[in-house]
Structure 1
Amino acid sequence: MIATGLDLLLQDTSALKGKNIALIANQTSVTRDLDYSWNALAEKGIRLKRIFSPEHGLFATEQDQVAVTVQPETGCDIVSLYGDCMESLLPDESLFDDIDILLFDIQDVGARYYTYVNTLALIMEAIDGRDIELIILDRPNPLGGIHVEGPMPDPAYRSFVGIFPVPVRHAMTPGELAHLYRDWRKIDINLTVISLQGWQRTMNFSKTGLPWIPPSPNMPTTETALVYPGMCLLEGLNISEGRGTTTPFLHFGAPFIEPYDLKKSLDELELEGVIFRPTFFKPSFHKYSNEVAGGLFLHVCDPESFDAFSTAIALTAALQRLYPQELRFLDEVYEFNATFPAFDLLCGSGSLRRMISENRPFEELRASWKKDEAAFLSAKEIFHLY
């Protein structure tokens, strides 16, 4: 049986007695019995000074890149760590003045650009040198702790979707990432990780026996999390990533795509672990709202061999070859960054976008990040807690 950091903390809360406590959490912060952490702590006599909520809000009621302004009552102050500018990603420094211990308990999805762990990084920077203990209540990486995917980011492309020096799929837990970030940035911080009990790196989320609670509005299932490290790249294209449907990130499309032509192009690459099904869909909101989009649905038939990032790069390259006039890399402000296109921020540099625009062969594209993967697999082992 897997026990999360929260469940283990609740077995002995003596270290919290008499302390001023703040909690960074959302609706995924639950016990094995699905009791919210703030309620479970209150039952132990632990009163929270305030709760900090990440993007999407405490109960994940808001869509992506939407400022959170209203939160349900929880018995203590709620402070949003997401708004309409970079400055909104951190609270006023005075809100840390009366805090002795800061708890972090949010389910991550295992991708560099998922913003919750980037919120953790910013919090670590904010309390650098302060007399505050940061306690990570660790949770599983739902993709397991073995496989990594994608390139390392160029530090010049740092953004709210790319703070950590890790590949896109990083195979680390929040607690491990916190140790890595403290070491990398030389942060002076009192860091404690309450590690998982019973979790092994070979486990994906389905093997943990824990309940899956969607950590954000467009992350309804663990299968969504599996494809997300690649399919999120479509946020940087004029291609619907399936938002506004019941299966976001599992299918994609646009009015100008002919599904069978695209499937034929991708099938020639013989990508492992995935089958593409031609489809049409009509998003109820977001890109191409109420328009019929042609595209493909991803059926992951072998999670162990499936590589989400390679798949997304392959389909982006195929779209560039088939629809050079229609496909567009979006250059609007993305996650408060107006310097680089969204696709570049997600990839961690502009090199892949340029190579795709030059119609470089897929094998050349894929080879461009393989050295990064190999180097990180070796380097990250010193931060393993499991």
Structure 2
Amino acid sequence: MKEKTFKLGLEVFFAKDLYKNYKKAKIALLTHQAALDRTFRLSFELFYRVFGERLTFIFSPQHGLFSEKQANMIGSPDEREPFWGIPVISLYGPRLRPDPDRLKEIDVIFVDLQDVGCRVYTYIWTLFLLLESTFYAGREVVILDRPNPLASIVEGPVLEEEYYSFVGLDCLPQRHGLTLGELALLFQRRHFSTLDLKVISMEGYPRNSLFPALERPWIFPSPNLPTFESALVYPGLVFFEGTNLSEGRGTTLPFLIFGAPYLKIKMLRDFLEEVFPETNWGVKLRPIAFEPTFDKWKGMRCYGFQIHLTDYLKFRPVEFALRLLKLIKDTHPDFEFLDIPYEFEERLSPIEILIGNKRVLQWLKGNPENPIETLLKARVDHFLKEVKTIQLYKD
């Protein structure tokens, strides 16, 4: 793909002078450091240079404006950004949604966030709560759309309502296949029909393209997704956060390695080669040892595997991780599911809200009434039909 043929929503907004529609508006911007244009200029820099002090404040999502904070209830404070001193209001920690009094200070909120295409990634739920708040406040929301790095491929399970939490506030598949703008349109249709919402679409974006095909540099949207490959593995390996297996946090390969001091890698290697043949799965698993510098098993030697992706399109991260997790659970007595709290949820366990589907949970915990591939397809066809009319891009 030639660079000049593809434009982000941010680039379209300024290149086509759409910003002139907001000359007199007081605005806010929900963004972070991964929201750049092709020349590496920050979204909030571009806004400040055009709108000046009418950029009243910036909202930041989980991990903070500069994506430096670690995960799971490690909040970021309200602060001022270091270039022009614009106030930054955190939507992860002090609060999870905008305060109504703050919304009275502005006319419109722009949203420019790089999502990763996974239901449990909290940026889409920060967006959801912002849409809900602006719906009741009668404010306009404008989404500057960005790619879904994982393309339009969809993988279940579909979240069930009884498992709603801050890693899932609406019924989406684990790998949802939509851009942030399309998600906003879906949320509007389902919940906020009269919301004043606009999406500035990308130009030249083929929705079925994985991120490398776009020929843009990967900018990490959070500390533990430093590469595209870590993001591709994430929709499955994130389930490990609900267990006492390390998912690689505290190492230089988060989500691309996994393990624990108790893991029997000699026994597992033979199983894994049989369960995940490379020709079918597009993955090779290499035995390793590693020592996390923080998080689970800090300072302890873990035995495990590194995930080497050999075919991005063949690799199915959700089914891969669930099969892997069940194999380890069934063969290692020291395996455990972790207890609450997790992402501000104190009623349901981490694994329950991460998977978010009763039958898949039953399958994982030892009651496999149906094959996992069948369970993962449940309700996906309905979702695909529902979203067809809000999709903004062609294959």
TM-score normalised by length of structure 1: 0.95
Instruction: Name the residue aligned to 2:305.
Output: 296
Q: Say if 2:239 is the partner of 1:230.
A: no
Instruction: Name the residue aligned to 2:348.
Output: 340
Instruction: Name the residue aligned to 1:199.
Output: 205
Instruction: Name the residue aligned to 1:78.
Output: 88
Instruction: Name the residue aligned to 1:162.
Output: 168
Superposition pairs of residues 1-386 of structure 1, within 5 angstroms: 1-11=5-15, 12=17, 13-46=19-52, 47-64=54-71, 65-69=73-77, 71=79, 72-73=81-82, 74-83=84-93, 88-145=95-152, 147-270=153-276, 272-323=281-332, 325-358=333-366, 360=368, 364-386=371-393
Alpha-carbon deviations, 1:237-290, whole Å to 9, x = none?
A: 010000001110011000000113222222222351111111111111100001
Give the secondary structure class of the aligned counterpart of 1:382. Answer: helix
Amino acid at match of 1:278: P
For the 8 Å contact 1:141–1:171, the answer to whether it is kept is: yes
Give the secondary structure class of the aligned counterpart of 1:321. Answer: helix
For the 8 Å contact 1:56–1:62, the answer to whether it is kept is: yes
Please list every run of 5 or more consecutive structure 1 residues that lacks an aligned counterpart in the other structure: none
Q: CA deviation at 1:186?
A: 3.7
For the 8 Å contact 2:285–2:306, the answer to whether it is kept is: yes
For the 8 Å contact 1:275–1:299, the answer to whether it is kept is: yes
**Seq. identity, %:** 37
Q: CA deviation at 1:187?
A: 4.1
Aligned counterparts of 2:59 and 2:78: Cα–Cα separation in 1: 13
Q: CA deviation at 1:91?
A: 2.7
Q: 1:375–1:305: structure 2 CA closer, same or farther, 3 Å change rule? A: farther
Q: CA deviation at 1:222?
A: 0.6
Count of aligned pairs:
380
For the 8 Å contact 1:118–1:163, the answer to whether it is kept is: yes
Give the secondary structure class of the aligned counterpart of 2:137. Answer: coil
Please list every run of 5 or more consecutive structure 2 residues that lacks an aligned counterpart in the other structure: none
Q: CA deviation at 1:70?
A: 5.7
Aligned counterparts of 1:297 and 1:372: Cα–Cα separation in 2: 32
Give the secondary structure class of the aligned counterpart of 1:192. Answer: strand
TM-score normalised by length of structure 2: 0.93
Aligned counterparts of 1:372 and 1:266: Cα–Cα separation in 2: 29
Alpha-carbon deviations, 1:98-147, whole Å to 9, x = none?
A: 211100001000000101111000101111143311000000000112x1
Q: CA deviation at 1:351?
A: 3.1
Give the secondary structure class of the aligned counterpart of 1:44. Answer: helix
Aligned counterparts of 2:296 and 2:367: Cα–Cα separation in 1: 25
* Superposition misfits of 4+ residues, deviation over 3 angstroms: none
